[in-house]
Amino acid sequence: MLTPRFRSDQATDSVSEPHVRVTTAFNKMLSIPGATVASVEFTPEGVVVGLRRRKGRPRCPCGWKGSGAYDSSVRRWRHLDLGSSKLLLQAPIRRLHCRRCDRVRTETVRWAWPRARHSRDFEDVVGWLAQRTDKTTITRLLRTSWETVAGIVERVVAEQVDTRRLSGLLRIGVDEVSYRKGHRYLTVVADHDQAGRVVWAAEGKNAATLEAFYDQLGETGCADLQAVSMDLGAAFKKATDTKAPQARQCVDPFHLVALANEAINKARRWAWNLQRDKARQAAALAGPKRRGRPPAESPAPPRDHARWVKHSRWALLKDPDALLPSQLDVLHELRRSGSALYRCWQLKEGLRDLYRLPDPSDAAAHLDWWLAWACRSRIPSFVTLSKTVRDNRDRILAAIELGLSNSKLEGLNSKIRLINHRGYGHHSATALIAMIYLCCGGLTIRLPTER
Ligand SMILES: [Zn+2]
């Protein structure tokens, strides 16, 4: 098949001319830094734009300028599409023997990152989109594979992440994030003083994982830490006790409220069993004992009891301000019938009130009042919760005292779950960590049209 081919000719370089040279037009359209358009070729893969480099010595990615080339080859980089055609930049690229790196390396070009097969503009568009939208949208819009997007995200993050993000940390939050079924976890560290932006993430969730972060921070960095907020587990506490013993440890409200919600779910099962036992006893008292199998309906609780236990879930768990009228009805019904579940709800809201006190200095008194109430509530799951809360009393109060009670980490956790949900979570931990830095690391990706 014959493909039209345009070569630069000797015509004058002026846009006012009725027939502008095709290379001049592409040169003005693309304005590739450090190169001019020498040829334009229409091929089945797309429009191939041949670039002519400005004269100069080859430069190593480390910054060192070589005196001569070791060898040379031709490379193509995918650039932003030209209408419905793909656009490929093509240029000779040299290798040089870098004295600083002490090995042969490929020179850098101004329009692409080292080792990239896409132009910077293309990669920036991928990064910008990945911060905002799901995987399928990007791969379809840019006609590229998911592996390519993942590779680009990793490179964009490596190039643009703030290398000084670990210096000067004062108040940090640590959290674990599950990223795949089968209990795969990441440990994520965020800076409370930088709007909760992620400064570090790694695979794993035990004490050793966090210790690796503290080691990277160094002794002085660890000594500068004033506060570390975390969950109620033992792992992060242990690592912080050993590596940054002077830092005040705080419990994130998010985790405490999550525990209270868990206690409610346990209490619902407990209440349902209680009702069933009551019904069994009533049935046993009411009728004479029959031989053989008992009728199927006799051990089950009365229908309405089973229903309210089942239907109470969201009424009990949701924020009271966000309740639907039907859920409010369930709550009123529970209160009228003197149900233990209504007391569970009161206990949970009582614990949440800790973070809604008009005067935070009342927190200690409020928490002690709550502890006394919960431990004699005779609801097993709340008695257990009260023990956990008592063990962590100081760490819970420290979060309020230090103003870490409106933890940004709660938002972080749901943000990471959203990243997972948008389809970025089912690949390697490395790919997800790059996505977390991209979306939660405070990175500003500028579109080529905004530069
Ligand atoms: Zn070098």
Q: What is the pLDDT of residues 89-100, one digit of tens each?
A: 999 999 988 888
Q: 437's torsion region: left (phi>0), alpha (psi -120 to 50) or beta?
A: alpha
CA 79 to ligand 1 center in whole angstroms: 26
CA 58 to ligand 1 center in whole angstroms: 11
Is a pLDDT exceeding 60 seen at residue 255?
yes
Q: What's the pLDDT at 111?
A: 93
CA 94 to ligand 1 center in whole angstroms: 13
pLDDT tier for residue 69 given thresholds of 50, 70 and 90: confident
SS3 category, 376? coil
Which has the minimum average pLDDT: 97-111, 221-235, 259-273, 295-309?
A: 295-309
CA 123 to ligand 1 center in whole angstroms: 23
Q: What's the pLDDT at 294?
A: 54
Amino acid code (one letter) for 354: L
Tally of CB atoms within 10 A around 107: 22
Is a pLDDT exceeding 60 seen at residue 18?
no
In angstroms, the Cα distances linking 297 to 80, 82, 270, 280, 300 are 69, 71, 20, 10, 6
DSSP track, 417-437: HHHIIIIISSS-HHHHHHHHH
CA 30 to ligand 1 center in whole angstroms: 29
pTM of the predicted protein model: 0.77
| Residue listed under structure tokens 């998911």 | 146
- How far, rounded to the nearest angstrom, does the alpha carbon of residue 156 sit from its chain's CA centroid? 16
Angle between helices 253-286 and 380-391 (to 10 degrees): 160
Q: What's the pLDDT at 86?
A: 95
CA 64 to ligand 1 center in whole angstroms: 5
- How far, rounded to the nearest angstrom, does the alpha carbon of residue 359 sit from its chain's CA centroid? 33
- Helix (H), strand (E) counts: the chain: 15, 11
Contact present, 287 and 265 (Cβ < 8 Å): no
Q: What's the pLDDT at 8?
A: 46
In whole angstroms, give the CA distance from residue 77 to residue 117: 5
> Which letter, b or e, does each residue of 179-188 get, where b requires 16 or more Cβ atoms within 10 Å of its Cβ?
beeeeebbbb
| Residue listed under structure tokens 């008292």 | 285
Q: What's the pLDDT at 339?
A: 78
pLDDT tier for residue 394 given thresholds of 50, 70 and 90: very high
With 0-12 / 13-18 / 19 or more C-beta atoms within 10 angstroms meaning exposed / middle / buried, residue 175 is buried
H/E stretch holding 281? helix 253-286
Q: What's the pLDDT at 286?
A: 74
| Residue listed under structure tokens 């006790």 | 241
CA 276 to ligand 1 center in whole angstroms: 75
CA 107 to ligand 1 center in whole angstroms: 9
In whole angstroms, give the CA distance from residue 3 to residue 6: 10
- Residue whose C-alpha is closest to residue 420's, from 204, 199, 186: 186
CA 224 to ligand 1 center in whole angstroms: 35
Is a pLDDT exceeding 90 seen at residue 372?
yes
pLDDT tier for residue 68 given thresholds of 50, 70 and 90: confident
Amino acid code (one letter) for 61: P
CA 159 to ligand 1 center in whole angstroms: 16
CA 161 to ligand 1 center in whole angstroms: 21
Contact present, 341 and 316 (Cβ < 8 Å): yes
Is a pLDDT exceeding 50 seen at residue 1?
no
Angle between helices 253-286 and 409-419 (to 10 degrees): 80
Mean pLDDT, to the nearest integer, of 121-132?
94
Angle between helices 303-317 and 253-286 (to 10 degrees): 170
Which residues, by Cβ under 5 Å, contact ligand 1, an ion? 60, 62, 64, 98, 100-101
CA 438 to ligand 1 center in whole angstroms: 27
pLDDT tier for residue 12 given thresholds of 50, 70 and 90: very low
Task: Give the contacts of 380 (CB within 8 A, at least 6 positions apart).
Answer: 266, 267, 270
Which has the minimum average pLDDT: 139-148, 235-244, 267-276, 380-389?
A: 267-276
Task: Give the contacts of 271 (CB within 8 A, at least 6 positions apart).
Answer: 309, 339, 340, 341
Q: What's the pLDDT at 13?
A: 47
Supply the mean pLDDT for the chain: 84
* 128-169 pLDDT, tens digit each: 999 998 888 999 999 999 889 989 999 999 888 888 888 889
In whole angstroms, give the CA distance from residue 184 to residue 169: 27
Which has the minimum average pLDDT: 3-12, 275-284, 310-319?
A: 3-12
Which has the minimum average pLDDT: 106-110, 289-293, 402-406?
A: 289-293
In whole angstroms, give the CA distance from residue 42 to residue 23: 13
With 0-12 / 13-18 / 19 or more C-beta atoms within 10 angstroms meaning exposed / middle / buried, residue 54 is exposed
Q: What's the pLDDT at 45?
A: 92
- Which stretches of 145-264 are assigned E, i.e. beta strand? 171-180, 184-191, 197-203, 227-230, 248-251
